[in-house]
Amino acid sequence: MASNNLTTASVAIVGHNPTISAVAAWLLDDPSVELNVCHAVVMEMSKWHFYPGAGRLVEYISAE
């Protein structure tokens, strides 16, 4: 498992949906969660329209 090395502050880009922000913060802050898992979860959220701007988080994760 790779460490994400991201802080909760880094998750500010996910937007103002507190539920999605909390899930993303948990995923990004947990070093046992691989980035591809974060990507998959965010893409699933996006599909279900929980977070229409999920692409920004995906881009951020992909750039890490």
- Across the chain, which has 64 residues, the per-10-residue mean pLDDT values are 40 51 68 66 61 56 53
Q: State the pLDDT at residue 19.
A: 62
Residue 14 is predicted with a pLDDT of 47
Residue in the block written with tokens 């692409």: 55
Per-residue model confidence (pLDDT) at position 24? 67
Residue 63 tokens read as 């750039």
Residue found under tokens 């992909």 = 62
- In angstroms, the CA 2 to CA 18 distance is 26
What is the model's pLDDT at position 6? 42
How high is the pLDDT of residue 59?
A: 58
